[in-house]
Structure 1
């Protein structure tokens, strides 16, 4: 069975269109995955910064508390 040039061209166009659609879908999926990954990394960095800041504040408060003289209890 021999394909006419028109049918052969149509088939080639369909295959190209399918390949292009698959490629676009893959690119979209990769972009979405990268965006999610970047958002996760940004959130992790922000939370780490907040945690370190809180730990530094807690250490400073502990030093202030330790430096304060203790009161004598009631007798």
Structure 2
């Protein structure tokens, strides 16, 4: 039984090696891969621009002035 299990494991491993795509860079990227990379790059660029703009707006914004109550009666 142990010998069959060993053969079965080797056969399964060989089958999976044939079924799984190579992880090497020898295949051309698909159009979907190219579009996904372009979208991700554009999203990262726009996010960076938005964060820069928000930081500039925070720096340029005047500090809030505390409101005083004028309707208060002096002691």
TM-score by length of 1: 0.48
Query: Which has more helix, going by share of residues?
Result: 1
